[in-house]
Amino acid sequence: MCSSLWLGTLLQSRWRNKKCHWPSLIAAWLRSSPDCLGEGLSLLPTPHTFTPSSFLRPGQLSNVDLNEDISELETELPRPYPNEIPHNEKLLSLKYESLDYDNSENQLFLEEERRINHAAFRTVEIKRWVICAMIGILTGLVACFIDIVVENLAGLKYRVVKDNIDKFTEKGGLSFSLLLWATLNAGVVMVGSVIVAFIEPVAAGSGIPQIKCYLNGVKIPHVVRLKTLVIKVCGVILSVVGGLAVGKEGPMIHSGAVIAAGISQGRSTSLKRDFKIFEYFRRDTEKRDFVSAGAAAGVSAAFGAPVGGVLFSLEEGASFWNQFLTWRIFFASMISTFTLNSVLSVYHGNAWDLSSPGLINFGRFDSEKMGYTIQEIPIFIFMGVVGGILGALFNALNYWLTMFRIRYIHRPCLQVIEAMLVAAVTAAVGFVMIYCSRDCQPIQGSSVAYPLQLFCADGEYNSMATAFFNTPEKSVVNLFHDPPGSYNPMTLGMFTLMYFFLACWTYGLTVSAGVFIPSLLIGAAWGRLFGISLSYLTKGSIWADPGKYALMGAAAQLGGIVRMTLSLTVIMMEATGNVTYGFPIMLVLMTAKIVGDYFVEGLYDMHIQLQSVPFLHWEAPVTSHSLTAREVMSTPVTCLRRIERVGTVVDILSDTSSNHNGFPVVESNPNTTQVGLGLSAYPMLLLKDFRDAYPRFPPIQSIHVSQDERECMIDLSEFMNPSPYTVPQEASLPRVFKLFRALGLRHLVVVNNHNEVVGMVTRKDLARYRLGKEGLEELSLAQT
């Protein structure tokens, strides 16, 4: 316990007397110090007298080269995914750092803010809007690029395979076709997997769990780098072209986020270019706001759902609802879908008709043609139950698979081989199913892009082949809108079954790919099957349009897997373009979520937990009122004195066994029993120097401090936040949680009745408590 203190937050700083220049030291705050030094403070010698002559000179940057250190650091940073997933879901990893959504009000920050007048704030505001517009445009363009490239490459592949099949159908030897198809797929997927596994593993998967974590306030290394974006875009193109059971929509969210993070900082560290613009935004608070906008723009481009995008960002990221921020996010979303719409309309030759608001469009569900009646609502709810159960099954299977992967497939080359295997198997399964299928449909009047005749009569095509020869997006729309009778129930059943397992196997591979579209496709298939059965049972009543049930099935399956609620309803509503469908979709999603939650968590949450990320949910567990801050906090905590010896500070900061990066700064002057806290979330000794380095500060170990410098005294009062948030130790966990979550804090100081620092609450202390099946449970902490 640190007695009689003076609290402040140490974030951005400079010298009191300008006599002792010390940026390199404070830079070290980043790498942090021991959490539990115990009575470390008492080991320190009594404060030296204040001797200005022993201070460093300003402007003397010691022997630290920022750029060099950064590049060094970059390669040293741990690769978080998927190599190092711990083997136990009841763990919280200590390796993740937090973002700080609270501005540290130290003297430098306040001086800067006070210098800015009203007009300058308006300029900043205008810049924010410009950035959002740019985010929207670029995200839209990236989506267009992906769409066009995928369409052309996939078309090319299908034409080659189709010609080959057509050739060999007549003269026998279709196994050559199978071989060709499997090889083509495996080859393409290999390239996609290699770039992900060897260059940027964080680009694997849909990126939604990673973005959820980032918006929640957890720093995931590399997640918003330009390199990640490039790998992601190439990876997703190759995965889709490779015929895997994946979609290109999920990755758009990640792409939008990276674009936003890049633009808002006005530079790219990967390209080593600094445009010297938008420097005001180089802090966690601002960056996170823009990343929200980017994620929203991504959703908007993927589904043509600008409102859904905004709600997605808010649902995943917002801690404090801000009208202006939301409005900017909406602006970015709108621009994004508009850009995509314009470019794709021009590309498809019918300029200005603006008929492609998203990468996937569900087509119009007109109330007149495909309305639903109130009696159908119980049926929809039943479909929600089915979706919930199937979704839980999907997640459970994927959980086991992921555990298997963690244990046995953690080397990149193995991962690539697995991806190739899946691609080949997908092709083989597709081929066998097409081969075995005897479901022929008349070619006339259908809108199939690559009709495959195979063994069908002339003028007919193999219906199973459409499902595998289209991109999954097209298949979904076909299932929604093809007239009744287009599909054989047997075909649909087999397809559902196969695709379910393929999609489940595919999610978690080391490729960039989303799970939205496969889920929709599985759901649409069994939904349509359900509709056909219903129509059969009711002797073809007019209201049993199978397309409607395909939609509900798609919603149920997707809801059962990802368990998103509000945003998913709005996304589905916007994608169908029909407000009256909102009500049944909401009911279906709600049912699927409730049923699914009964068995197992949502897919994204599951993967977040498997990575042991200290993720903060919306509220503290309901039964946690019996816990107080005293029981929750980390203790003892290392305190610094307001006037401290440089050597002491270096020693504390260099100790790498720390769990957090904040240090209370205390003062024990009997006359002024000041209370305060010094934190060093990120150190900005010289404001400009360190804003340039944001967010990759050099570590303390890279800085040489001479013995003379170690004997210098430093006054920390200008570096720290003099008014940090504190809670009394009697406060209950929900109260602490609310304060922490609502303000997006990184550190929260716990004080006792004497106003002495007794502990510190950080993200992991709060994320540790979880509501399990048997009530409150506590996760253990691990350094993995």
Asked if 778 interacts with a second copy (CB under 8 A), we say no
CB of 645: closest distance to a second copy in angstroms? 24
- Does residue 331 touch a second copy according to CB under 8 A? yes
Whole-number minimum distance, CB 470 to a second copy, in Å? 24
Q: Are 291 and 242 in contact (CB under 8 A)?
A: no
Q: Which residue type sits at 39? A: E
Residue 730 CB partners (closer than 8 Å, separation 6+): 628, 629, 630
What DSSP character marks residue 457? P
Which residues, including other chains, have CB under 8 Å from residue 722's CB and lie 6 or more apart? 7, 8, 9, 105, 106, 676
Least Cβ distance, residue 35 to a second copy (angstroms): 24
- With a CB cutoff of 8 Å and minimum separation 6, the contacts of 338 are 136, 140
353 belongs to the binding site for a second copy (CB under 8 A): yes
Stretch that binds a second copy, among 353-361, 508-516, 693-701, 705-713 (CB under 8 A): 353-361
Residue from 19, 735, 768, 770 touching a second copy (CB under 8 A): that is 735
Among 180-188, 388-396, 512-520, 753-761, the segment contacting a second copy (CB under 8 A): 753-761
Give the residue with the Cβ less far from a second copy, 145 or 583: 583
CA distance 480 to 296: 26
Judged by CB under 8 A, which stretch of 75-83, 331-339, 505-513, 518-526 contacts a second copy? 331-339
C-beta of 132 vs 220, nearer to a second copy: 132
| Distance in angstroms (rounded) separating the CA atoms of residues 204 and 202 | 5
Token pair recorded at residue 280: 């005001």
Which of residues 310, 492, 554, 767 is near a second copy by CB under 8 A?
Answer: 310
Q: Judged by CB under 8 A, does residue 348 bind a second copy? A: no
Q: Is 9 among the residues that bind a second copy (CB under 8 A)?
A: no
Computed from CA positions of residues 715, 716, 719, 723, in that sequence, does the dihedral angle turn out positive or negative?
A: negative
Interacting residues of 383 by C-beta distance below 8 A, sequence separation 6+:
527, 530, 549, 552, 553, 556, 588
User: Binding string, 545-564, against a second copy, x = CB under 8 A?
Assistant: --------------------
Q: Is 743 in the site for a second copy (CB under 8 A)?
A: yes
∠ CA(569), CA(402), CA(660), 5° rounding?
A: 85
The reply to whether 293 sits near a second copy by the rule CB under 8 A is no
Stated length of the chain: 784
Q: Which is nearer to a second copy, 65 or 619 (CB)?
A: 619
Instruction: Decide: is 574 part of the binding site for a second copy (CB under 8 A).
Output: yes
711 near a second copy, judged by CB under 8 A: no
Is 117 near a second copy (CB under 8 A)?
A: yes
- Which of residues 569, 654, 658, 680 is near a second copy by CB under 8 A? 569
State the nearest-atom distance from the C-beta of 357 to a second copy, in Å. 6
Of 127 and 710, which has the nearer Cβ to a second copy?
A: 127
Tell me if 396 contacts a second copy by CB under 8 A.
no
User: If binding is defined by CB under 8 A, does position 374 make contact with a second copy?
Assistant: yes
- Which residues ranging from 664 to 683 are in contact with a second copy (CB under 8 A)? 672-676
Q: Which stretch binds a second copy (CB under 8 A): 13-21, 86-94, 432-440, 574-582?
A: 574-582
Alpha carbon distance 463, 123 (integer Å): 59
Q: State the binding string over 612-651 for a second copy (x if CB under 8 A, else -).
A: ------xx--xx-xx--x----------------------
Two tokens, residue 696: 């990759």
The reply on whether position 775 binds a second copy by CB under 8 A is: yes
Taking alpha carbons only, the member of 12, 36, 24 closest to residue 655 is: 36
**If binding is defined by CB under 8 A, does position 295 make contact with a second copy?**
no
Residue 331 CA to residue 660 CA, distance in Å, equals: 37
Closest C-alpha among 188, 152, 189 to residue 506: 189
Q: DSSP code of 196?
A: I
Q: Which helix (H) or strand (E) holds 778?
A: strand 775-778
Please list the helix, strand and coil fractions of the chain in percent, rounded to the nearest 5, in that order. 55, 10, 35
State the Cα–Cα distance between residues 527 and 549, nearest whole angstrom.
5
Does 748 bind a second copy (CB under 8 A)? Our answer is no
